[in-house]
């Protein structure tokens, strides 16, 4: 009794949750709209180039990641990033400047002016804000660290993580740990020092110090390995139409091969994007549908380029670079894929992944894709001092890419909590709740698993 679970979506959130539940003896069914597992994790190998069209890596922020990797048999394919990837660049005035990673480098860097460096030293003496949940990342950073630090550190970082706009993102919702440093410790520098002890106790790594990982055949290896373990518990090419309450639980209505089908369950876990969940739960609560539909997913193009190394005159000694808004370029930044991980290109070639658009510049997609790609390649080649055309070009446009935790997101979060309390047995999950990273999604899968396990045990004892 109380052990049947239907999970909507076979991305990493849905699959990891399904894995823990299945292992614990729950009767799990996963419904996935695509033909293959992975969600936004898409990897392919072509002409000796390994392409990740979605997440290109993860950060090992929790022991749970390694546990999952080991249990699905991917231990031998799990790889860490090259140490060179610790070096990151920021583009300023068409020059690449290493992001300073220590006090000495910070003092000598030309990325920030002397005035900006002295401004940073005042951070421990700045008090808390009264704006609480309704501060943008920009407001928070300018108040604590100054305008220049926003422009040349946080603005490009936000683009790299969220493809987002720091003027619109909520610091509390998008970067809760940053916000918490001020709330709990009174400042960022104080909080980073004191918070390190807390993370050690919880066996967690900060995202700044966590090791970057991937797999020999790309990030999609993880969802594919989980799906193999789940086997016939996953049904592909299933478009969920609605979830309805019944006297004993829920009825999930979906279409497969042109037929309308139904599944009964005790629990429904939705891990599909917010805009897809909006339609599915409309019958149960129109307000939750509205909240889900209001979450903005900007368009992002992932452009993958391969070049012969002999024509690249920029030293390849880092993770890549990010571009501040002030630089007015046609793309957000570039990852030096073949520097970071092995097996991404031939020895005589170099592979790069570029990101275009996002919340910062969605208007770029008003021009033709061919013209946009041409412009980006031209700008990228100039920055990287490349004297030849690429030998390999592939791209994917995600029309709705990454959920934006914008100002006021707390209203959505509060309503989702209210919805779950009023509809016990339904849980809303996925990267629009609790963080967008691979590590966040895996951590949240355990939270969802524990909620279901506790609820099922309560039902049995009741």
Q: How would DSSP label each residue in 412-449?
A: HHHHHHHHHHHSTTEEE-STTSS-SSHHHHHHHHHHHH
Place of tokens 């008003």: 366
DSSP state of 257: T
Verify that 412 and 265 share a domain, yes or no. yes
214/77 Cα distance (integer angstroms): 8
* Tokens coding 196: 């390190």
Verify that 193 and 223 share a domain, yes or no. no
Verify that 156 and 280 share a domain, yes or no. no
Domain limit, last residue, from 201, 231, 263 = 201
Domain limit, last residue, from 166, 201, 236 = 201
Give all strands (DSSP E) within 95-174, no chain letters: 95-98
Position 458 scores a pLDDT of 82
Verify that 275 and 128 share a domain, yes or no. no
Q: Evaluate whether residue 371 is within a structural domain.
A: no
285/428 Cα distance (integer angstroms): 13
Verify that 223 and 196 share a domain, yes or no. no
Verify that 171 and 232 share a domain, yes or no. no
Q: Evaluate whether residue 355 is within a structural domain.
A: no
* Tokens coding 9: 């979506």
Q: Evaluate whether residue 373 is within a structural domain.
A: no
- pLDDT by residue for the chain (462 residues), tens only, comes to 469 999 999 999 999 999 999 999 999 999 999 999 999 999 999 999 999 999 999 999 999 999 999 999 999 999 999 998 999 999 999 999 999 988 889 999 999 999 999 998 898 888 887 766 789 999 999 999 999 999 999 999 999 999 999 999 999 999 988 888 888 888 787 788 777 666 565 655 655 678 999 999 999 999 999 999 999 999 999 999 999 999 989 999 999 999 999 999 999 999 999 999 999 999 999 999 999 999 999 999 999 999 999 999 999 999 999 999 999 999 999 999 999 999 999 999 999 999 999 999 999 999 999 999 999 999 999 999 999 999 999 999 999 999 999 999 999 999 999 999 999 999 999 999 999 999 999 999 999 999 999 999 887 775
Q: How many CB atoms lie within 10 A of CB 95?
A: 11
320/372 Cα distance (integer angstroms): 21
Q: Evaluate whether residue 55 is within a structural domain.
A: no
Of 118, 127, 254, which is closest to residue 188 (Cα–Cα)?
127
Q: Please report, for the domain that includes residue 30, its CATH number.
A: 3.50.50.60
* Tokens coding 456: 């099922």
Which run of H or of E encompasses 308?
A: strand 300-308
Structural domain span for residue 417: 4-39+219-296+405-461
Verify that 196 and 120 share a domain, yes or no. yes
Q: Report the predicted TM-score, pTM, of the whole model to 2 decimal places.
A: 0.93
Q: Please report, for the domain that includes residue 156, its CATH number.
A: 1.10.3110.10
Verify that 193 and 228 share a domain, yes or no. no
130/122 Cα distance (integer angstroms): 19
* Tokens coding 422: 């009023």
Verify that 193 and 117 share a domain, yes or no. yes
Position 189 scores a pLDDT of 78
Task: Classify the C-alpha dihedral 42-373-273-158 as positive or negative.
Answer: positive
DSSP state of 56: -
Q: Evaluate whether residue 453 is within a structural domain.
A: yes
Verify that 285 and 411 share a domain, yes or no. yes
Cβ proximity of 427 and 452 under 8 Å: yes
Q: Evaluate whether residue 431 is within a structural domain.
A: yes
Q: How many domains does the chain have?
A: 2
Domain limit, last residue, from 136, 171, 201 = 201
The contacts of residue 262 (CB under 8 Å, 6+ apart) are 251, 252, 253, 254
Verify that 189 and 259 share a domain, yes or no. no
Position 203 scores a pLDDT of 58
Position 1 scores a pLDDT of 47
Q: Evaluate whether residue 314 is within a structural domain.
A: no
Place of tokens 């275009």: 356
Q: Evaluate whether residue 86 is within a structural domain.
A: no
Verify that 197 and 116 share a domain, yes or no. yes
Of 454, 366, 355, which is closest to residue 398 (Cα–Cα)?
355
Which run of H or of E encompasses 115?
A: helix 114-121
Cβ proximity of 339 and 84 under 8 Å: yes
């Amino acid at each position: 009794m109380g052990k049947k679970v239907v999970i909507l979506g076979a991305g990493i959130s849905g699959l990891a949750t399904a894995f823990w539940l299945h292992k614990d003896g729950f009767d799990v069914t996963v419904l996935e709209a695509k033909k293959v597992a992975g969600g936004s994790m898409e990897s392919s190998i072509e002409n000796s180039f390994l392409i990740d069209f979605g997440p290109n890596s993860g950060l090992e922020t929790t022991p749970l990641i390694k546990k999952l990797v080991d249990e699905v048999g991917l231990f031998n394919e799990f790889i860490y990033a090259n140490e060179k990837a610790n070096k990151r660049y920021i583009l300023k005035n068409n020059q690449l400047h290493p992001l300073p990673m220590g006090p000495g480098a910070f003092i000598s860097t030309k990325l920030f002016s002397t005035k900006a460096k002295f401004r940073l030293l005042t951070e421990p003496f700045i008090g808390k804000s009264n704006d609480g949940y309704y501060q943008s990342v920009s407001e928070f950073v300018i108040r604590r660290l100054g305008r220049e630090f926003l422009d040349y550190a946080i603005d490009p970082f936000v683009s790299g993580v969220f493809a987002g706009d720091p003027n619109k993102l909520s610091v509390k919702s998008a970067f809760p740990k940053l916000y918490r440093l001020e709330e709990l410790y009174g400042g960022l520098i104080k909080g980073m020092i004191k918070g390190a002890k807390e993370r050690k106790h919880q066996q967690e790594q900060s995202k700044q110090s966590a090791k970057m990982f991937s797999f020999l055949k790309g990030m999609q290896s993880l969802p594919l390995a989980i799906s193999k373990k789940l086997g016939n518990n996953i049904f592909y090419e299933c478009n969920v139409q609605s979830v309805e309450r019944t006297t004993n639980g829920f009825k999930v209505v979906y279409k497969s091969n042109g037929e309308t089908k139904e599944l009964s369950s005790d629990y429904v876990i939705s891990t599909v994007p917010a805009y897809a969940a909006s339609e599915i739960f409309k019958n149960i609560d129109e307000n939750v549908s509205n909240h889900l539909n209001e979450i903005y997913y900007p368009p992002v193009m992932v452009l993958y380029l391969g070049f012969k190394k002999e024509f690249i005159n920029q030293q390849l000694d880092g993770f890549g670079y990010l571009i501040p808004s002030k630089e007015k370029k046609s793309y957000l930044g570039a990852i030096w894929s073949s520097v970071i991980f092995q097996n991404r290109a031939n020895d005589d070639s170099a592979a790069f992944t570029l990101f275009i658009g996002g919340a910062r510049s969605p208007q770029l997609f008003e021009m033709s894709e061919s013209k946009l790609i041409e412009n980006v390649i031209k700008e990228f080649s100039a920055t990287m001092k490349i004297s030849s055309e690429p030998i390999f070009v592939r791209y994917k446009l995600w029309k709705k890419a990454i959920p934006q935790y914008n100002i006021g997101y707390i209203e959505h979060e509060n309503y989702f909590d209210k919805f779950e309390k009023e509809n016990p047995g339904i849980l809303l999950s996925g990267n629009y709740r609790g963080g967008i990273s691979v590590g966040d999604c895996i951590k949240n899968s355990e939270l969802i698993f524990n909620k279901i396990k506790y609820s099922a045990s309560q039902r049995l004892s009741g």
